[in-house]
Structure 1
C-alpha cells in the first residue's frame, strides 16, 4: 500500500466527492474549514438533511455547495460520494441510516459524527462491510478551534486515516484514540467547553457582586481565560507549574486556591468528567439496543 505524503493527502481530498447527511453547526464548520483551507472546491461537496429546505438554501447560497430537497437527487448524492459524513442527531440516526443504507457501498469511506453510536452499531445498521471513521468533535470546531477524537474500524486503510485526520484538522486539533476511549474524549473535550463556560459564568457573577459592572466583569473574565489558555499553549508548561508561579505564599491567589480546595474543586471537575464519560457510554448502549432490537 502506498502511503501518501501530506501534500498528496491534500491533493487527494480535493479529488473526492463528499456528501454530508446532516447539516447542523458541526457539518457547516467542516465545510467551511475544508473550503477555507483550500482542501476542496464547493462543487465537490453535497449537503442534505431530511426536510429543512430553508437550511439547504442557506448553505448553498453561503458556500456554493450542492444541495437538494428532492429524494431522487439526494439518493444520487449519497451513491456518488467517495466520503459520506453521517452527521444526523443520535435520536434520528438509526432510522435515517436504515433508509439510505442500500444506497451506500463498500467503496465509500463512512465518517460518523453521531454521538454515542459505536462502530459496531453502525456496522450493524449499514448491513455491509464498510470502512468507518468514528469521531467526537466539540462545538469549538465552529470557529476553527475544535478538539476532535477519532477512532477507526479495522478496515480503514492508512491513507483513509490520513484523509480523515487532515479533514478534521481543518477545524482544529485531532487525537486518535482507541474507540473505547472516545467516551473519555466526550467527557473531557466534547463536553469540556461547557465546563469552561460554567466557570466563566461564576467569575462574571463574582465580579458583578463585588462591585464591577457586568460588562467589565465579562471582559476581564474572557480575557483572563483566553490569556491563560494561550499561556499554556505558548509556553508548553504544565498548568500546575504555571499555577504555582502565580501563587505567592500568603498572597491573594493562594487564599483563593485554598478556598477552592476546601470546596473540593479539583475532585468536582474530575468527577464531572468521569460522569460525562459514563453517560456517553450509557447513551451508546441505549442507541445500540434500539438499533439492533
Structure 2
C-alpha cells in the first residue's frame, strides 16, 4: 500500500480506530503527523510506547482538541451516541479544511454537518481491517467533494478494500460486510459443534472447520469463480455433499439471511434516531 495523507487525528482508538491506526503506520504510508486519543491513560501509554503521539481524555480534558488542532483528516472512532457531543467539543479547534470521517453506525452525515461546518464522510469498515483485509463502504456528505472522497478512500485502503456508495446504502452495507464477519463466525461455531457431536475432539474439530472456511474463502478469491460454481464442483450427483446441501436448503437459508440483514438494518435506523 502506497499512500500520501495529511496529518491525521484519531479520536477514540478502540478496535476499529486501533486497526486504522495500525494501517496508517504500515510501510508505504506517508503522513506528516499522527495523533490519537483514548479514554484511559493505560491505553494512551501503550500507544506512546509504540511511538504514537497519544493522550488520554480521563487525564487531559483538552486531549481531543489537541489531537485535531493541526490535522487535515480527523477520524472519529467513538461510539455512535458520542459522535455529536465529541464533534461539538472539536468544532472550535478543527481546521476549516479538515475532513471529518466517522465510522459510527447509524449516524448520518447530515447529523454531523449540523454540528460542524467541515466536509464529512461516513464510513463503515469491518473487523478484518485488523489484519488489513477489511471492506469499507464510504459515503460523502453534502460538503464532501470528489477530492474528499478520494482522501477517505486512501485512508481506508491502508486496511483493505473500499467501496464508494450513496449514503442511503451505508446502513444496508453495514448489515452485509459490517456484520458479516459475525455471521461467518456463527457458522464456524455451529459446524464445529456438529463435528464434536460426530466424535471429533474439540481441538481437531476447530482445526478442521477453521481451515475449511479459510481454504474455501482463499479458493474463491484465487479462482474468481462464482460461489455457486465452486459449490457445484464439490457437490457430486447423488453424493454425500448433495444430501447435506439438501438439508441446509430445507432450512430456507436465503430467507433466514435476508431476515437477519433486515433486522440489522432496522437497528441501524434506531441508532440514527437515538434509540
Of residues 38, 41, 48 in structure 1, which corresponds to 2:37?
48
Q: Within 1, Cα distance between the matches of 2:119 and 2:172?
A: 23
1:65-117 CA-to-partner distances (Å, cap 9, x unmatched) read 11124334542321211111111111222322222222224311111111111
Where do 1:152-163 residues align within 5 Å? 152-163=140-151
Counterpart of 2:9 in 1: which secondary structure? Answer: strand
Query: Within 5 A, what are the aligned runs for 1:61-210?
Result: 61-62=49-50, 64-69=51-56, 70-72=60-62, 74-126=64-116, 128=117, 130-210=118-198
Q: How does 1:21-60 map to 2 (within 5 A)?
A: 21-40=11-30, 44-49=33-38, 51-60=39-48
> 2:175 and 2:261 mapped to 1: Cα distance?
5
Q: Which runs of 5+ in 2 are unaligned?
A: none
Q: CA deviation at 1:38?
A: 2.5
CA positional deviation for 1:232: 1.2
Cα separation, 1, equivalents of 2:215 and 2:93: 49
1:234 pairs, out of 208, 222, 227, with: 222
Which of the two has greater helix per residue?
A: 1
RMSD between superposed Cα atoms in Å: 1.7
Which whole-Å CA distance do the structure 1 matches of 2:230 and 2:266 have between them? 31
So what's the TM-score if we normalise by structure 1? Answer: 0.88
CA–CA distance in 2 between the matches of 1:242 and 1:281?
36
CA distance in structure 1 between the aligned counterparts of 2:79 and 2:120, rounded to whole angstroms: 18
